[in-house]
Structure 1
Amino acid sequence: MAPPSAVSSMARPLLKIQRYFRRKPVRFFSFILLYLTAGSLVFLHSGFVGDSSTGENGGRDPLVASGIGNRVASSEGRGVGMMGRVVKDTRRPTPRRYGPPWMKGAGGKDWEGRGYIGCYIDDTAKRALRGVSFFDYKKMTVFRCQDNCAERGYLYSGLEFGAECYCGHKIQAPNTSESECIMQCKGDKGNLCGGANRLSIYRLELSQESARHYGSAIFKGCFHRPDNITLALPISAVIQNMSVEKCVDMCTEKELSLAVLAGDRCLCGFPTPHFSLHEMEDEDMCLHRCHGEEFESCGNDEYFVVYQTQVQDNRCMDRRFLPTRSKQLIALASFPGAGNTWARHLIELATGFYTGSYYFDGSLYNKGFKGERDHWRSGRTICIKTHESGKKEIEAFDASIVMIRNPYKALMAEFNRKYGGHIGFASQAHWRGKEWPEFVKNYAPWWASHTLDWLRYGRNVHVVHFEELKRDLFSKLKDMVLFLGLEVAENRLLCVEGQKDGKFKRSGLRKLDYDPYTPEMRTSIDELVMTVDASLKKRNMAGVPKEYRPTPR
Structure 2
Amino acid sequence: MTLFRCQDNCAERGYLYAGLEFGAECYCGHKIQAINVSDSDCNMECKGEKNNICGGVNRLSIYRLELAQESARRYGSAIFRGCFRRPENVSVALLASRPMKNMSVDRCVDFCTGKEYPLAALAGSWCHCGFPTTLFTLHEREDEELCAQKCSGEEFESCGNAKYFIVYQTQVQDNRCMDRRFLTVRAKQLIALASFPGAGNTWARHLIELATGFYTGSYYFDGSLYNKGFKGERDHWRSGRTICIKTHESGQKEIEAFDAAILLIRNPYKALMAEFNRKYGGHIGFASHAHWKGKEWPEFVKNYAPWWATHTLDWLKFGKTVLVVHFEDLKRDLFVQLKRMVSLLDIAVLEDRLLCVEGQKDGNFKRSGLRKLEFDPYTPEMRQAISGYIRTVDSALKRRNLTGVPEDYYPR
Could you state the TM-score of these two structures normalised by the residue count of structure 1? 0.73
Q: Any idea what the Cα deviations from partners look like across 1:97-134, whole Å, max 9, x if unmatched?
A: xxxxxxxxxxxxxxxxxxxxxxxxxxxxxxxxxxxxxx
What amino acid is the match of 2:318? Y
SS at match of 1:267: strand
Q: Which residue, 250, 259, 267 being the options, matches 1:406?
A: 267
SS at match of 2:236: coil
Matched, 1:247 2:97: no
Q: For 1:511 and 1:470, how far apart are their aligned partners in 2?
A: 19
Q: Any idea what the Cα deviations from partners look like across 1:462-490, whole Å, max 9, x if unmatched?
A: 00100110000000000111111112310
- Name whichever of 517-526 and 153-162 sits farther off: 153-162
SS at match of 2:405: coil
SS at match of 2:61: strand
Percent identity over the alignment? Answer: 77
1:222 to partner: Cα distance: 1.0
Q: Any idea what the Cα deviations from partners look like across 1:130-165, whole Å, max 9, x if unmatched?
A: xxxxxx3xxx22x33222111111122112233322
Matched, 1:456 2:317: yes
Matched, 1:158 2:6: no
What is residue 522 of structure 1 aligned with on the other side? 383
Q: Which residue, 325, 330, 339 being the options, matches 1:478?
A: 339
1:191 to partner: Cα distance: 4.3
Residues 530, 549 of structure 1: 8 Å contact kept: no
What is residue 229 of structure 1 aligned with on the other side? 90
Q: Which residue, 223, 226, 238 being the options, matches 1:365?
A: 226
Matches within 5 A, 1:359-398: 359-398=220-259
Q: For 2:45 and 2:411, how far apart are their aligned partners in 1?
A: 36
What amino acid is the match of 2:37? T
Matched, 1:505 2:366: yes
Q: For 1:179 and 1:392, how far apart are their aligned partners in 2?
A: 68
Matched, 1:259 2:116: no
Q: For 1:172 and 1:200, how far apart are their aligned partners in 2?
A: 14
Q: Which residue, 122, 132, 143 being the options, matches 1:282?
A: 143
1:168 to partner: Cα distance: 1.1
Q: Which residue, 425, 433, 450 being the options, matches 2:294?
A: 433
1:504 to partner: Cα distance: 2.5
* Shift in alpha-carbon separation, 1:203–1:550, aligned structure 2, 3 A: closer
Matched, 1:291 2:152: yes
What amino acid is the match of 1:277? L
Q: For 1:345 and 1:188, how far apart are their aligned partners in 2?
A: 40
1:280 to partner: Cα distance: 0.6
Residues 274, 370 of structure 2: 8 Å contact kept: no
What is residue 336 of structure 1 aligned with on the other side? 197
Q: For 1:509 and 1:298, how far apart are their aligned partners in 2?
A: 34
Q: Which residue, 27, 42, 51 being the options, matches 1:181?
A: 42
Q: For 1:144 and 1:288, how far apart are their aligned partners in 2?
A: 34
Matches within 5 A, 1:209-228: 209-228=70-89
What amino acid is the match of 1:440? V
Matched, 1:347 2:218: no
Residues 103, 125 of structure 2: 8 Å contact kept: yes
What is residue 166 of structure 2 aligned with on the other side? 305
Q: For 1:176 and 1:261, how far apart are their aligned partners in 2?
A: 34
Q: For 1:353 and 1:267, how far apart are their aligned partners in 2?
A: 32
1:195 to partner: Cα distance: 2.3
- Structure of greater relative contact order (alpha carbons < 8 Å, 6+ residues apart): 2
Q: For 2:56 and 2:85, how far apart are their aligned partners in 1?
A: 42
* Shift in alpha-carbon separation, 1:162–1:408, aligned structure 2, 3 A: same
What amino acid is the match of 1:507? S
1:241 to partner: Cα distance: 1.1
Q: Any idea what the Cα deviations from partners look like across 1:339-387, whole Å, max 9, x if unmatched?
A: 1100000000001111111111111111111111111111111111111
Matched, 1:419 2:280: yes
Q: For 2:120 and 2:36, how far apart are their aligned partners in 1?
A: 31
1:299 to partner: Cα distance: 1.2
- Name whichever of 165-174 and 267-276 sits farther off: 165-174
What amino acid is the match of 1:296? E
Matches within 5 A, 1:114-125: none
1:173 to partner: Cα distance: 2.6
Q: For 1:508 and 1:499, how far apart are their aligned partners in 2?
A: 16
What is residue 77 of structure 1 aligned with on the other side? none
User: Which stretches in structure 1 are left out of the alignment for 5+ residues?
Assistant: 1-135
Q: Which residue, 472, 477, 494 being the options, matches 2:355?
A: 494
* Shift in alpha-carbon separation, 1:550–1:210, aligned structure 2, 3 A: closer
Residues 15, 28 of structure 2: 8 Å contact kept: yes
1:327 to partner: Cα distance: 2.2
Q: For 1:291 and 1:173, how far apart are their aligned partners in 2?
A: 20
SS at match of 2:83: strand
Q: Any idea what the Cα deviations from partners look like across 1:20-46, whole Å, max 9, x if unmatched?
A: xxxxxxxxxxxxxxxxxxxxxxxxxxx
